[in-house]
Structure 1
Amino acid sequence: MKVSTTWILPCALLLAACQLVTSQDEPGALWIPVRITQVAELERQNGTAGGSSAEGIGAWFQNPSSQVSAHYVVDQQGVVAQCVRERDTAWANGRIEAGADPWWTTNPNAVTISIEHVKSATDNSNELTAAQRQASWRLIRNIIARNPGIKAAWADSTGGITGHYSISPISRERCPGPFPWAEMFEAIGGSGDAPCVGTVTADALRVRAQPNTQAAIVATYYNGDSVTISERVTGESVSGNTGWFRVAQGYVSAYYITLRDPKPEWCFK
């Protein structure tokens, strides 16, 4: 998994088979080690929803009562702290929730590299500072250079970069909060073309062979299912909405889909 599929995302103290590592991956980062288990893989961006410094968040991760950790912390002054080696598992992601992106089929902690961005607001409403952005983009470039399995693009089933909301859209819908995704992708030389993803709101949504309710039913989605959309077309009006989305098996009415941010303009216009 480490080689083939990797994500970057922005440690519970697991005493069984754990070790205390002694050096960091990122040159110049503060080394604030926590006890860990094993292997990481994608990249996820987080906001801390409180806190003031990388050192303070790192110290909290070292506290056994925190039951949490991340690979990196980037504070508003641009200070970077590393708490878990990239090859090892940090504990920042929680469980996969209803409506999560469909490629999350295993424990996200085991396949991600997590970056926490210090935000003093408990709702993660702070924008990243200039120093924070510069430090974070440099860190992400370095992580990708060290981990060829991570692609510099929006996450999908083959890896990439996303936010905590991708895993936990209910409890972490505001994580990382305001985040300059386009600027980040430009800075790391990647592809910032966001996928169009939605969540089914109907109890049972029929997938049709054509964009109308008389066409053959080819599949069924259920409330909370996540769907990846490849095209928006005009079809039969459903409760005043003439939009239909092309999905893997056919077409679904846009009336029963809530689009998730960030989303490309073509997806909703």
Structure 2
Amino acid sequence: MLKTSAVALQLRQYVTSSVEYTARSSFFVGVEYLRFSVQAMGGLFRRPLYLREFLYQCDVIGVGSLWLSIGIGVFIGIIMPIHLLGLLPSGTMYDLPSVIGSVTIREIGPTLTAVILAGRLSAGMAAELASMKVTEQVDALRAMGVDVTKSLVTTKLVASVIMLPFLIFLVDIVAILGSWVIIGIPLGVDLHFYVNAAVSDLSHRDMGLAMTKALVSGFIVATVGCYCGLRAYGGTVGIARASTQGVVSAGILILIFDVFLTHFLTPVGV
């Protein structure tokens, strides 16, 4: 009995200390990440502009994610009507365009797109910067007087914040068109009428909420990926670790901020 109590006490102490250590570490990492993000935004007001690197990042983030975004839109446009047809009463079938448009633009489009693209973009940024960090290329750039934060982080941040809203807008369009193919064409509904019905219940507040989510997601994708990459250590294992941390951390932060923005920017009863 005494031995069992001692084991239980040791286990409780171990769990408590582990939780305290994790909470303390998460706090300091969060503070460091905020400082890193502020430094990255501060690069906007410093020269040089690194315009060529910025355009390259726009190509990598925007054009490189084009087909993935189209695939996400097709998936949403096909899956949502199939599920909603079985949930809504039969007499409300013609309300489907409005429901699909509202749910897609307000929530599914921005959130699902950002989380999936984080798997590509945050991991890529983290792996790129981690490989530069462990091979001491970052130190070499600093020794040559290059503004590492400006050239490696700020350019990615601005490109991500600009391109992600366009990608999410593309996903919304493809999703609405895909849902029209699934339910609009069989019902003989005109495309123009279907699109108008899909956006009929959306207000300026809804569009602003969707745009805010897109901008915040673009910010998170870039800053988290770059932060995890520049903290890498330990050779190839460190590169893999940084990529994994970038994807997981970006996805979690996107979901957290999505809940926060939806709660505080959506009127009660909407």
Same fold by TM-score greater than 0.5: no
User: Which TM bucket (shorter chain)?
Assistant: under 0.3
Structure (1/2) with the larger helix percentage = 2
The structure with the greater share of residues assigned to strand is 1
Point out the structure with max Rg over C-alpha.
2
Tell which has more relative contact order, 1 or 2 (C-alpha 8 A, sep 6+): 2
